[in-house]
Structure 1
């Protein structure tokens, strides 16, 4: 695309992207002074400010009062915040598609984690599932506690994969809002026990450092969640639960 067909703001964004790609600007660097940068990019100062604002919204730049404008650390988690916001708004078929992406990402994360997870991480995963079991067995069932344990367990596996980009993408497509919609307000103790069993199966595969088994067990677990939710008459995966203030944890059907 030629500059003639680009808005001045797009020219600024493209110019700064070139500077980052060429490593002229690196994470943490301060941008050149406004007058010089505007002259180099051949745009007005107003257009430069608009471009800087756009890149700041995307998490690429940050303006510090009295210090200037800097390139952020460009961490994937921060740059995906806009996508995370979008994911939380999806329902119906779009939410089904988000879950499909989550399943693809998490199954590969489980396989990678099986090869790289440490003994400390395995111990922490075990403690998380112990707390989950206690929450499920309590009277009444501690749904909020069980849901929190589920979040922590899946997050630990993603982080244990050793792939920061993969971990950030998983966090983006499995927000608390999305989980709350999926888990429903149906308090089915048998379903919760089945889901807990699936988690224990995943942990067993991780302890064996068996990538294929971990991948398969994670896939079966997430298919079970999907199957259960879509089997509820009149409900789609992304439709908000009837009692959104008391979301129940993922409910699955045990797979062999």
Structure 2
């Protein structure tokens, strides 16, 4: 049961306010360098006293920060600051995306278009031969999928499509940007699958657009890479907006976003 009042509570101050004090206090310890990635928090009694809150409020604040990926509690060993990996800290963005109904897929794709156009431009400036090799391998796998047309595995196609976009975001060299793209790219799975089902030619069109994006990355041309990526995602965005009431895949009512 959540502790809302103990002898440690300050009279007249709601427990929620004390929880906010805990969150702000621990965040301050991280930002001022007292706690870093992997650091162990002081024991509960000492930390509660330092922050002038009850142990119940301290636990609530720790739980909230654990949900956000800032802290992790190890059974029998205390509470630690996580690695503070941007992808982990941005994971709540994915939850927000999942709460959007299929009718709002166009909105998410518009955000993806802005973010991924920039990630492609950044990647073009410093992409490595290893990254280019991985992207080539992903598109080679798509070529293999296309050989089974008209009975191609569309789920596998969407998975490779997702891997392609994630790898480019990682190659941008901006972990925060890559984390945001990673949180969003899988959440437009339903709209992309529905487009692939209803407009079969778009699968080959998508592959051609991916090859064009890869060519600009290989040429290290940021502006052309940005344009290629923006146009590529715009196609899916326009489809999702135009078919906002039709993005439920027939016979796939329980299909969850990737």
User: What TM-score, normalized to structure 2?
Assistant: 0.86
Provide Cα deviations, 1:155-198, integer angstroms capped at 9, x if missing partner. Answer: 111111111111100011112x4212332062543221111111
Q: RMSD of aligned C-alpha atoms?
A: 2.3
Provide Cα deviations, 1:203-228, integer angstroms capped at 9, x if missing partner. Answer: 11111111111000001101112223
**Residue 111 of structure 1: aligned partner:** 121
Provide Cα deviations, 1:72-102, integer angstroms capped at 9, x if missing partner. Answer: 1111111122221221121256432221111
2:131 to 121, 137, 144: 121
Question: 2:206 and 2:251 mapped to 1: Cα distance?
Answer: 21
> CA distance change for structure 1 residues 246 and 41 in 2, over 3 Å: closer, same or farther?
closer
Deviates more, 1:51-60 or 1:165-174: 51-60
Structure 1 consecutive aligned stretches of length 4 or more whose deviation exceeds 6 Å: none
**Residue 236 of structure 1: aligned partner:** 244
Question: 1:246 and 1:221 mapped to 2: Cα distance?
Answer: 28
> CA distance change for structure 1 residues 237 and 84 in 2, over 3 Å: closer, same or farther?
farther
Task: Give the drift of 1:243.
Answer: 3.9
**Residue 252 of structure 1: aligned partner:** none
Deviates more, 1:235-244 or 1:222-231: 235-244
2:23 to 13, 18, 36: 13
1:1-256 alignment runs, 5 A limit: 7-91=17-101, 94-139=104-149, 140-175=151-186, 177-184=187-194, 186=197, 188-231=199-242, 235-236=243-244, 239-244=247-252
Instruction: Report SS of the residue matched to 1:138.
Output: coil
Instruction: Report SS of the residue matched to 2:35.
Output: coil
Task: Give the drift of 1:17.
Answer: 1.4
Question: 1:187 and 1:73 mapped to 2: Cα distance?
Answer: 43
Instruction: Report SS of the residue matched to 2:99.
Output: coil
Consecutive unaligned residues of structure 1, counting only runs of 5 or more, are: 248-256
Count residues in correspondence: 241
2:240–2:247 CA contact under 8 A, matched in 1: no
1:96–1:238 CA contact under 8 A, matched in 2: no
